[in-house]
Amino acid sequence: MDTDVTEPGATKTGADVTETGADANATETGAEADATDADGGWEELVTAALLGAERRTPPGGSPAAVLDRAAVATVRRRAGARPASPAERPAPAAADPRPALPAPAARRLALLLAGRAGAGQGGRRGTAPDLAELLPQWLAAANAHGYRAPAGQLPALLDAARARTDLRAEALAFAGPRALWLAGLNPEWRFALRGTAGVAAVPPDDARAVRELWEEGLFAERVALLTALRRQDADAARALLETTWSSERAEDRLLFLDTLRERPTARDEPFLERALADRSRTVRATAAELLSALPGSALAARMSARARACVHPDRTGAAAGVGLVVEAPYECDAAMQRDGVVAAPPSGRGERSWWFGQVVESAPLEDWPAHLGARDAARIVALPVSDGWRADLHAAWARAAVRQQDAAWARALLGSPRLPLAEGAADPARLLTVLPAGERAAWAAEFVAAHGLAEAFRLLGTCAVPWSGALGDAVIDALEIAREAGSYPWSFSGVMGLAERCLDPAQAERLRPLAAQADEPASGAPGSGGYWAEAFQRLASTLHVRAAMLTELADAAPAP
Amino acid sequence: MLTLAPDAASRKAGSKLAAPAPWSETGTGRDAVWGLCRGSGSTPYRTVVDLTGPASQCSCPSRKFPCKHALGLLLLWAQGPAGPDAVPRAEPPRWADDWLAGRRAKAESRGRATAEAAGRAADPEAARRRAERRARRVAAGATELEQRLADLLRGGLAGADQAGYTVWDETAARMVDAQAPGLASRVRELAGAAASGPGWPGRLLAECALLHLLCRGALRLAQLPAPLAATVRGHLGLTTEAAALLADPEAVVRDRWLVLGRAEAEDGRLTVRRFWLRGERTGREALLLSFGAAGRAPELALPVGRVLDAELAYHPAALPLRAALGHRHAEPDGGGTPRGVPVAEALAAYGRGLAADPWLEGWPAVLRDAVPLPGADGGPWHLADAAGPDALPLAATGRSALWRLAAVSGGGPVTVFGECGHRGFTPHTVWSEGEAIAL
């Protein structure tokens, strides 16, 4: 079914100019030179041109004659080009039924992605918002509304997801099935096919397909399959894992075990108990950790007994009747090691304190009140501890509170935000994650009000976005105090960056007076006033952009 | 809006300035936007954008056009991230008004100016002498180039792929001296053909042969039929001034022109920006060129996919395509997906074009229901008819254009504008749901 598009008129025009008029049929396939056909002696002309007239008399007798003939042949070949007909036609991308973005939001996305391309160039940041930093929020908001990505932006989205793993999950969810189709065609985007993507095609109730993917899939596909199945049917997922457990490599076993972390159940216990005898030390440790957080597990009971043997109410010492004494383990026996206690301490750490910490962090917190004869966590934490064991004991309890997600213990261990942070004790940022969002923000706000921003970065990072009014006020006040104290704003660049991303856009009004150039305090670093005004301007303009981009997405939002 | 940006760096810088913070005394009114932008200096830059152009004026030292301040101001005005009060309605201040008034007065008198430009050639005797002098120089250049091509063929092309660019650059410089810029840029392309990898001898011979044909045409201009002579002049770079073309009321075509696509390329030290248009009434395609010297972006900026009510005058040629842009009657508006043809018809149109102009590299074409197909075994991608076996290989298509085209199609049929030529199809624009996406 070739369409003949040969147009002999072209030859005639060439002849008008060159006064040469050879005649032959010319074809060229798919606009690409094809020398095999009858082409008016083209190959002969090329050979003659390569050799040169000095070495061999060319067709026509002179260089000019060769050029004349080549001109005619070239025009004829070009005019006679025929369409190609490639055989393979890949299947089109799956349809994406999500609604299109509102036009202003689509323009915003293009801006954010264009900003990403230039990110990472050095230099002072100036007053303009850092658009690349807003992309994660934009993607999360767009996904929450359930929009479809504009097709023309998919390559830029895939490039962004390739460069930044923190964006990847949201970017790929937003990019949708067409991005996966593209990724199948471009090796640079192969990453998008790993992870949950390949699994989407396998329905968990198709036992044969699940089995096949589990046995033959790539590692990442298998992890994704296990994770997805685990969410649907925890027992089926564990059973699937057990079919091949003993033949998996140690590092794979560790990551497969991690899929049980999300919602461990009592029915996982026998499997986890067997994993305590695993060949790999890290697998054993992970199994022990999972078991210790499993309410009512045998391992938790064993650990509880060990821990209770180490901590007693003080009956004889200085704090008799009101304090605690700690008697750390004297050895790490085989049973303890089997339950996940690591025998060898890191350098600089005493053996007994090391064992003690591991035992206490794995013991259920709920067993302590009865054992110590106190009513609740707050009272227990307030008790004095003899012989300098307080820091060890509290740090271990803090790890237990995080592992067991126990808000009462976390609250007690955090204590008042107005007190200075105790050296080497509990990690407040991790404890904060256990508290409900409102309480977390209130605690962080009070902490910032009392201590300023120097140690606040990680605490602020745990707070929900956008920050509550009280927390936002506290951070802005603290920044203002820092400016008054005459320091440079880049000493606070981490907190500034967080504030740009997390402050409630409604706070922009408060920043207006701060963004005006202020007089430098007499004691201040030279030029700091201008830099602060610049930093506050950037903060304010970033909040404007965030407010605008969320409004754009919410406008004309599709009915859920 | 961002398509107005001269390059990626300006686009980025402009979008950074699309925040209210650095701006003060902004306002909009009388089809203009203005504001003061605080930069690194002590006095803020004064930026005015005339929305009827769009054209802009800024007191910053940037040589880019439009500069980042103008872009940022436009974005701020268009999207208002800080709400509509970021750029309030107002009367322009003195400094903005001066420029606007001056600019609009100029625009009004442009009609007269073009007439005057034609009148400047009022001394026909002097003009004739100038033209004759240039014709002699071009003829001398063509003779010299003919000699060099003959020498090349006498010695043989073998080894030309190792020769590098210097030898061609020197010849190109001679052609610039001969006031034949068309010959000069073709000579520069010979170096590219010689370095084009496997199969280069055929490509180099083809280019040499067409250059030889052009030289012969240049030497026999007087004997050629008028349309062909005009085509040869066009390829030699002996073009008529836009003002002179537009001064002829007979030659001016008014239509609603759909902006089909845009492309930018470097030619020597020039940046050449191309816009392809298609008239709604006439159905004719037109090509507008805009040049920027030494790193400056060309001034002409048209929104791809929109319709421009304007007057054009075609440069004379056997196959008129290139045109000069005259008066614009309204702001670009509307749009929509243009009518397209199947692959075979686009190829046939190029073939017909070659009949009138043997030097034609490609011809504008809108393909309808075209499907991008990945190349087999690392070969080039193709654009294929959705309903037939015909396809064209994609040529001179950058990474981002290729993948954007693939993404927009999703493996389904789309309407694509591009140039159909002997190397294949170079896509410039794709339409999705009635919206044009520049590639």
Same domain for B297 and B373: no
The answer to whether the Cβ–Cβ distance between B403 and A182 falls below 8 Å is: yes
Mutation target among B186, B347, B369 for the A interface, most CBs of A within 10 A:
B347
Question: Can you tell me the mean pLDDT for A343-355?
Answer: 88
Would B24 be classed as within a structural domain? yes
Last residue within a domain, chosen from A265, A294, A323 = A294
For residue B365, the SS3 value is strand
Q: What is the mean pLDDT of chain A?
A: 79
Closest partner residue to A83 among B15, B153, B391, by Cβ?
A: B391
Question: How close B400 gets to chain A, by Cα (Å)?
Answer: 7
Helices and strands (H and E) in chain B: how many: 12, 15
CA distance B329 to B310: 5
A539 to chain B, closest Cα gap in Å: 10
CB contact at 8 A, A320 and A430 = no
**The token pair that represents A218 in the structure block:** 């790539």
pLDDT for position B414: 92
pLDDT at residue B330, as a whole number: 84
> Using the beta-carbon criterion (under 8 Å), do A128 and B21 form an inter-chain contact?
yes
pTM metric for this prediction: 0.70
Number of compact structural domains in chain B? 4
Interface touch B347/A182, C-beta < 8 Å: no
- State pLDDT tens for residues A147-169: 888 988 899 889 888 888 888 88
Question: Are residues A335 and A360 located together in one domain of the fold?
Answer: yes
Say yes or no: B348 and B303 in one domain. no
Domain boundary among A263, A294, A325: A294
**Which pLDDT value is given to residue B420?**
93
Same domain, B223 and B254: no
Domain of B71 in residue numbering reads as 2-110
Residue at a domain's end among B110, B142, B166: B110
Q: Which residues of B touch A80 (CB under 8 A)?
A: 351
Which residue of chain B has the CA closest to A505? B82
Q: Which of B203, B347, B404 is the closest to A83 by Cβ?
A: B347
For chain A positions 123-152, those within 8 Å of chain B (CB to CB) are 126-129, 131, 151-152
Look at residue A3 in the predicted model and tell me its pLDDT. Answer: 36
pLDDT exceeds cutoff 60 at A500:
yes
Each residue's pLDDT tens digit, A362-421: 999 888 888 888 778 888 888 888 888 888 888 899 999 988 888 889 888 888 888 777
SS3 content of chain A, % helix, strand, coil (to 5): 60, 5, 35
For A278-338, the DSSP string reads -SSHHHHHHHHHHHHTSTT-HHHHHHHHHHHHHEEE-SSSTTTTT-EEE---S---HHHHH
Q: What are phi and psi of A102, to 5 degrees?
A: -60, 150
Mean pLDDT computed over A203-218: 76
Are residues A422 and A308 part of one domain? yes
- Pair (A276, A304) in one structural domain: no
Q: Flag whether B9 is in a domain.
A: yes
A493 and A556 in one domain? yes
A551 interfaces chain B, CB cutoff of 8 Å? no
Summarize pLDDT for A280-295 with one digit per residue, the tens.
888 888 899 899 888 7
Question: Is the CB of A104 less than 8 angstroms away from the CB of B79?
Answer: yes
Cα–Cα distance between A14 and A419 in angstroms, integer? 93
Query: Is the ipTM, as predicted for this complex, more than 0.95?
Result: no
| H helix or E strand, kind and range, residue A5 | none
Residue of A nearest to B349 (CA): A5
Lowest-pLDDT range of A363-377, B103-117, B315-329, B374-388: B103-117
Domain boundary among B47, B75, B110: B110
More confident site: B250 or B12: B250
Give the amino acid at B331: E
Phi/psi-derived region of residue B411, left when phi > 0, alpha when psi is between -120 and 50, beta in every other case? left
Cβ-based burial of B84 (10 A; exposed 0-12, middle 13-18, buried ≥19): exposed
- Taking an 8 Å cut-off on Cβ atoms, the answer to whether A52 and B407 are in contact is no
pLDDT digits (tens, 9 = 90+) for A112-128: 888 754 444 444 556 67
Domain boundary among A82, A115, A131: A82
Residue A27 has pLDDT above 60, yes or no: no
The residue range of the domain holding A260 is: 207-294
Q: How far is A209 from chain B (nearest CA, A)?
A: 27
Phi, psi of A40 (to 5 degrees): 65, 30
Same domain for A386 and A277, yes or no, is no
- Could you report the per-residue pLDDT of B339-377, keeping only the tens digit for each? 999 999 999 999 999 988 999 999 999 999 999 988 877
pLDDT band, residue B274 (cuts 50/70/90): very high
CB-CB: which of A63, A115, A118 is closest to B150? Answer: A63
For the stretch B157-213, pLDDT in tens is 887 777 777 778 888 888 888 888 888 888 888 888 888 888 888 888 999 999 999
Number of separate domains in chain A: 4
- Sheet arrangement for strand B391-393: B391-393, B382-385, B362-373, B414-421, B424-432, B435-438
Across the interface, whether the CB atoms of B154 and A548 are under 8 A apart is answered no
A89 touches chain B (CB under 8 A): yes
Kindly state whether residue B261 falls inside one of the protein's structural domains. Answer: yes
Which residues have C-beta within 8 Å of that of residue B304, sequence separation ≥ 6?
B3, B259, B260, B261, B262, B429, B436, B438
| Residue A170 belongs to some domain of the structure | no
CB contact under 8 A, A30 and B393: yes
**Closest CB from A58, A83, A549 relative to B343:** A83
Nearest to A13 among B149, B350, B356 (CB): B356
Residues of chain B positioned with their CB less than 8 A from the CB of A179: 407
Residue type, B173: A
Q: Hey, are the CB atoms on A52 and B202 less than 8 Å from each other? A: no
Band (pLDDT 50/70/90 cuts) for residue A7 is very low
Q: Are residues A461 and A558 in the same domain?
A: yes
Are A444 and A432 in contact by the 8 Å Cβ rule? The answer is: yes
The answer to whether residue B82 is domain-embedded is: yes
Instruction: Give pLDDT tens digits for B133-154.
Output: 888 888 888 999 899 888 888 8
CATH number for the domain harbouring residue B308: 2.40.50
Predicted confidence (pLDDT) per residue in A419-437, tens digit:
777 655 667 888 888 888 8
Pull the structure tokens for residue B33: 């936007």
Alpha helices in B68-123 (DSSP H): 68-79, 94-108, 110-120
